A and B are shown apart, each in its own frame.
Chain A
């Protein structure tokens, strides 16, 4: 099998993880898939920089994240809005309503700060170690641990409140439902 074909097959295996991470970042299904497409192109162009095939997943997730940051920066430039840090990047992405529908845990997740959200998704959903997640996010391992702990604490509170006090969380945004009276 050629190197190109084997790299293609390796990328294919990781596409579901890339899509899941992209959705956590973008909070929009279509935008997430566009992001994955950009990331696949970037990964293909820079495949020679991958030193350890065992790190393929975290390498790809890092590319997805970088592509996301570029896209958010680009949108912010168009709107002439200043961006200070990573949390601001992702917090400026809209499209939340579509994906939170029908998903309790996901809807809570999508309300977390961007930095906390990406940390918990990398560690809990994708099973990356704290060190790997830190490399993806370009920050110290301790920062990732703090973000994961903070995200877990917020999810714990929100999910417990949902269960005990409010009942099932709202599944849709009433003002966006067609034909619904105000």
Chain B
């Protein structure tokens, strides 16, 4: 006898699979953001501050 799977059951399985996939995606996002957190939060190096100061003062490069 073929097993009868209700529409509701299929929907639940699909939703469960999607939830797992979303959860992994969230983990990947979190890991990626963490892996760049050093450069995103560290102080801006002097070379860039000086460069922008020179540019805004109209000094040639």
Contact = CB atoms under 8 A, between A and B. Distances in A.
Interface residues of B, number: 27
Interface string B8-27: 00000000000000001101
Interface stretch (A5-13, A54-62, A67-75, A77-85): A5-13
A4 B56 contact: yes
A121 B29 CA distance: 10
B61 interface: yes
Contact of A8 (B29, B39, B47, B56): B56
Nearest to B31: A105
B25 to A, nearest CB: 6
Interface of B: 24-25, 27-29, 31-36, 39-42, 44-45, 47-49, 51-53, 55-56, 58, 61
A52 to B, nearest CB: 21
A128 interface: no
B6 to A, nearest CB: 30
Contacts of B36: 20, 23-24, 106, 121, 125
A19 B36 CA distance: 10
A93 interface: no
Given A17-B40, A23-B39, A152-B25, A124 B47 contact: no
B28 A40 contact: no
19 contacts: A5-B56, A7-B56, A8-B56, A15-B44, A16-B41, A20-B36, A20-B39, A20-B40, A23-B36, A36-B48, A41-B51, A41-B61, A104-B35, A106-B35, A121-B36, A124-B28, A125-B36, A159-B27, A159-B28
